[in-house]
């Protein structure tokens, strides 16, 4: 293993990516899994991490960046400790989602794409979270919150 690669990725990250590759037909097929592994350790994918992952998978950084950019749960910029993914799709719109999200933005003092001053939360829009029966919905980190209203959203962040 080249030392530059080891500097950009930890031994544990490399081992986890190599373990994924063993289940797949070729190294490139591990692209999303590799990005997720590194993001789970570092919170986001820096240019250095992206280049190192690309080398490990025998692909170009540009090719991997295309995948990372297309997949909206891979973060190419630093994010807060928890990412809020607020559903921005039709069922949630119909159930007042935009007003609820506006209330959330006022509560946290951030707009979509921004991080709170204390580094705690980053707010991002996301397409349907698959919880349309309980719209509006959002993920805060790993937790799903639904049946959101302008009256109950604030309490989630207290």
Among 30, 31, 79, 92, binds ligand FES (CB under 6 A): 92
| 101 assigned ligand-binding residue | no
Q: How far is the CB of 129 from ligand FES (least distance, A)?
A: 4
Q: Is 126 in the site for ligand FES (CB under 6 A)?
A: no
Return the number of the residue (81 or 98) whose C-beta is nearest ligand FES: 98
Which three-class secondary structure string do you get for the chain?
CCHHHHHHCCHHHHHHHHHHHCCCCCHHHHHHHHHHHHHHHHCCCCHHHHHHHHHHCCCCHHHHHHHHHHCCCCCCCCCCCEEEEEECCHHHHHCCHHHHHHHHHHHHCCCCCCECCCCCEEEEEECCCCCHHHCCCEEECCEEECCCCCCCHHHHCC
139 binds ligand FES (CB under 6 A): no
Nearer to ligand FES, 46 or 105 (CB): 105
Residue from 129, 139, 148, 153 binding ligand FES (CB under 6 A): 129
Residues lying near ligand FES in the complex (CB under 6 A): 87, 89-92, 128-129, 131-132, 135, 137
């Amino acid at each position: 293993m080249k030392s530059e690669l080891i500097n950009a990725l930890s031994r544990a990250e490399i081992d986890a990516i190599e373990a994924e590759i063993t289940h797949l037909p070729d190294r490139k097929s591990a692209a999303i899994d590799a990005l997720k592994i590194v993001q789970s350790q570092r919170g986001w994918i820096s240019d250095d991490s992206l280049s190192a992952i690309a080398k490990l998978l025998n692909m170009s950084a540009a090719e991997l960046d295309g995948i990372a950019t297309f997949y909206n749960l891979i973060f190419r910029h630093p994010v807060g400790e928890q990412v809020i993914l607020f559903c921005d799709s039709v069922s949630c719109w119909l159930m007042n989602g935009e007003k609820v999200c506006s209330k959330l933005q006022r509560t946290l003092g951030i707009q979509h794409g921004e991080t709170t001053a204390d580094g705690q939360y980053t707010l991002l829009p996301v397409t349907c979270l698959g919880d349309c029966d309980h719209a509006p919905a959002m993920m805060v980190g790993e937790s799903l919150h639904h049946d959101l209203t302008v009256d109950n959203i604030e309490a989630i962040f207290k």
